[in-house]
Structure formats: structure tokens, C-alpha cells
Amino acid sequence: MLAETKEKVDREEEGHEGLTRRKLLVGAGSLAVGAVTSAGVLGINPGTALSKEDVTIVVNDKPLSGVPATVVKGVTTAPVRPVAESLGAQVEWIKESKTVKITSKAAGTAPIANQVPEWPWPYKKLDPEVVRKLGYENYFKGGCMFGTASALLLTLSKEVGFPYTTIPIDIYKYGAGGAAGWGTLCGSLNGASQVINMITKDFSKVINELIGWYTEFPFPSAKHESYCKIKNQITTVAKSPLCHASITKWARAAGAKVKGADKDDRCAKVSGDVAARTVELLNSLVDGKFIAAYKASDEFAHCLKCHDGGQFGPDQLGKMNCTSCHDDHTKK
Ligand code: HEC
Ligand code: HEC
């Protein structure tokens, strides 16, 4: 149980009734103490005359008082909670599974619950294909926002660890169907954007690029063919970041139901594709190779000239393709 404890054991013979007093010194590098086998270190043969010994635990030069520790048959045993907490870790007892959960950033620091990690959080380049597949798989556990965000977070938890490990991924379930089925912002975009915002102060430019790309991309990509349930699905371009437009257009083109296995497989692939694209963008950002490539298409770029806060449209807000909802009154 104890992996890295640098333990030094002082044996001080006290000379009464074979009871020995020991000091167990726990250094700054150690994380938790459950049972420490000192026999190997000391060269004591377990099961010899030393049947029970009292032990003093010293953490970072301070003895822990009131912590009963003993050596029984060569195994040093101490209560987990006071020892772990003295090292700045958090201890939870999970009754159902009889588990002691110890969470620590580093020994000797304040408990994690009291730390607000500085923003933005650290990023390490990820493999787009790893998150693409995980995004696809996790869609089936909680919808598109969950699929995309959890693929990114769980991979970050694996590659970076803290503080990503502190986020309960179930918080991303609300985004399914464009927020509780309302068909507004595609949940995959919603989830990816939140993760992007955790990672970079340049979140707006990265999110702008991601959403712009989404509106023009023929979903779903063919990169899931080796593991997906339904192969060779037809693709459509949403021209919109709205779940409503994205799904409805596709479902009609595919002759599929909005509540059905075909649509689920398509949206699972979208979850993976958006997660993968997010990683590509973040990777390019850390490499200093990020390019803002997205531009409004010819279909509506001219609308923005007049309506984007300009002379004729000071009250119009948004970057979505106008022609998916309005007629082009300049072409009559
Ligand atoms: C040359 C400038 C110009 C361009 C380009 C332009 N508009 Fe307009 N638009 C106007 C003006 C002027 C009005 C009338 C005043 C108003 O309602 O803001 C107007 C009105 C509108 C209105 C509200 C009035 C209505 O009932 O039609 C909509 C919606 C609109 N435009 C959408 C668009 C879209 C979509 C495009 C691009 C496909 C576009 N406009 C391109 C200048 C422009
Ligand atoms: C997702 C659909 C959608 C998109 C995309 C969209 N609009 Fe609209 N727009 C609406 C709706 C809905 C209204 C409110 C219409 C109403 O209630 O009369 C509106 C209102 C407007 C109005 C005011 C019209 C009025 O009569 O009050 C203007 C101007 C306008 N939009 C311009 C634009 C422009 C320019 C773009 C592109 C940058 C755009 N819209 C994109 C749906 C959309």
C-alpha cells in the first residue's frame, strides 16, 4: 500500500518486557500510510519474539500525537486518516465499497478542497484519434455534450492529472439535444467550448474557429468506420451551430428518425469529431501554429457588412449564417 515512503526506523530499546519503541519517520515524498512492512527494512524476521511494539510517527519532523501505531509481526500499522491528513491529503471513507479514498496533490501542502487551481489549466498535446473514439463511445453514456467533454477531460486526467481529475463529468449531461432537447447550441460544441475555456485565455478565438468549422463540416466524418455500429452514413453540412439545424437536416436527408439508432450513431460520431477537432486546435495553439482560418461564406458575408453592428444593423447580434433563417433581400 505504501509505495514511496522513505522510512527511517530508529530502534530504541526501552528494556522492559520486550517492548521496543520505534520511530517511523515519514518524509515529504510520501503520500499515505496504511500498513508499512518494516520487516524488510529492518531485517527483522516476521513472527519472531517481537510480537507487539508501540511506534511514534514523525511527519516532517513533527511527531503526531494521539495516533496509535503499532508493529505486529513485523508490520507497522497506523490509522490512515491522521497520517494522510497530516500530509495535506483528503481522506474519504466510502462505506458501500469499503474503500479509503486518499487524494493528495503533493505531501505537505494544503488539502485540495482549499485550493482553487489557477486559470488557465495546464495542457499537454493529446492524440486527436484517441479522443475521437472516446467521444463516440461516451456519447452513448450521456449524450453529445457529455461525449465530447468527457472524452477531452478523461484524456486530460490521464495525461495531465490534477486539476482535471477534480471535475465530475456528469455535469455535462444537460447539453444533450442542444440543452435539454431545446435544439440550441450543439452540445458537442458546448462541451468542447467549456474545456477550451479552462485551458486558454484565447478561448474566444479557438471557439470561434471550432464553431465556424462545425457549420461547414460534412458530418459525420468517416473516421469511425472501424468501430462504429452503423457504417457508411450519409453526411450533411448544417451551416449552423444549432443542434436543431444540424440534426434535423441530417435526419431528413438520411430518412432517419430523430429518436433512433441511426441518429444516435451519427451524433456519437459528431461528438468524437468535435472532440478531435478541439484537440487539433489546442495542439496547434501550443505549437504556435494556430491559424484563424474560418471566414463567413459568400452566402452571408455581405449581410454582415451592413448588419454586423454597422450603419444598417446596429442592433443585430450573431455570426450564424443569416440565410438559413432569412431571405436575402439584396437579391430580389
Ligand atoms: C447593403 C446593406 C445590406 C445588406 C448587404 C443586407 N441588408 Fe438586410 N437590411 C438592410 C437595410 C437598410 C434594412 C432595413 C432596415 C432594417 O430593418 O435594419 C435591412 C433589413 C433587413 C431585415 C429586417 C427587415 C425585413 O423584414 O426584411 C433582415 C432580416 C435583413 N435585412 C437580413 C439581411 C440578410 C440575411 C442579409 C444577407 C443575406 C442582408 N440583410 C443583407 C441592409 C442590408
Ligand atoms: C437561426 C435563425 C436565424 C439566423 C441564423 C439569423 N436570424 Fe435574424 N432573426 C431570426 C429570428 C427568429 C428573428 C426574430 C424575428 C421576429 O420575431 O420577427 C430575427 C430577427 C432579425 C432581424 C430583425 C428583423 C425584424 O423584423 O425585427 C434582423 C435585422 C436580423 N434578424 C438579421 C439577421 C442577420 C443579418 C443574420 C446573419 C448574421 C441573422 N439575422 C441570422 C432568426 C435568425
Q: Which ligand sits closest to the CA of 321?
A: 2
Does the pLDDT of residue 35 top 80, yes or no? no
Measured CA to CA in angstroms, residue 118 lies from 5, 113, 289 at distances of 29, 14, 25
Most confident of 112-121, 255-264, 305-314: 255-264
* Closest among 182, 106, 122, 177 to 145, alpha carbons compared: 177
Q: Residue 245 and residue 271: Cα distance in Å, rounded? A: 16
Q: Residue 174 and residue 169: Cα distance in Å, rounded? A: 11
* Closest among 95, 50, 87 to 71, alpha carbons compared: 50
Kindly calculate the radius of gyration of the chain based on its CA atoms and give it in whole angstroms: 29
Sign of CA dihedral 192, 194, 199, 202: positive
Quick count: other Cβ atoms within 10 Å of Cβ 324?
15
* Closest among 224, 169, 215 to 195, alpha carbons compared: 169
Cβ–ligand 1 distance for 331 under 6 Å, the answer no
Distance 69 CA to ligand 2 centre (A): 72
pLDDT digits (tens, 9 = 90+) for 54-81: 888 888 888 888 888 888 888 888 888 8
Opening angle at CA 94, ends 89 and 100, nearest 5 = 45
Residues 6+ apart with CB under 8 A from 326: 303
State residue 43's pLDDT score: 33
State residue 18's pLDDT score: 38
State residue 109's pLDDT score: 53
Quick count: other Cβ atoms within 10 Å of Cβ 194?
20
State residue 27's pLDDT score: 43
Does the pLDDT of residue 272 top 90, yes or no? yes
- Hey, whose CA ends up nearest to atom 21 of ligand 2? 316
Q: What contacts 24+ positions apart, CB below 8 Å, involve 180-184?
A: 182/243, 183/242, 183/243, 183/244, 183/247, 183/248, 184/242, 184/243, 184/244
Q: Which ligand sits closest to the CA of 332?
A: 1
Q: Residue 223 and residue 280: Cα distance in Å, rounded? A: 15
Distance 205 CA to ligand 1 centre (A): 27
CB 28 within 8 A of CB 60: yes
State residue 49's pLDDT score: 43
Q: Residue 91 and residue 87: Cα distance in Å, rounded? A: 11
**Which amino acid is residue 77, in one-letter code?**
T
Cβ–ligand 1 distance for 300 under 6 Å, the answer yes
Distance 204 CA to ligand 2 centre (A): 23
**Which amino acid is residue 132, in one-letter code?**
R
- Residue 170 sits at φ, ψ, to 5 deg, of -65, -15
State residue 17's pLDDT score: 39
Does the pLDDT of residue 128 top 50, yes or no? yes
State residue 221's pLDDT score: 98
- pLDDT: is 246 or 57 the higher one? 246
The torsion of the CA quartet 75, 79, 81, 83, rounded to 10 degrees, works out to -60
Cβ–ligand 1 distance for 21 under 6 Å, the answer no
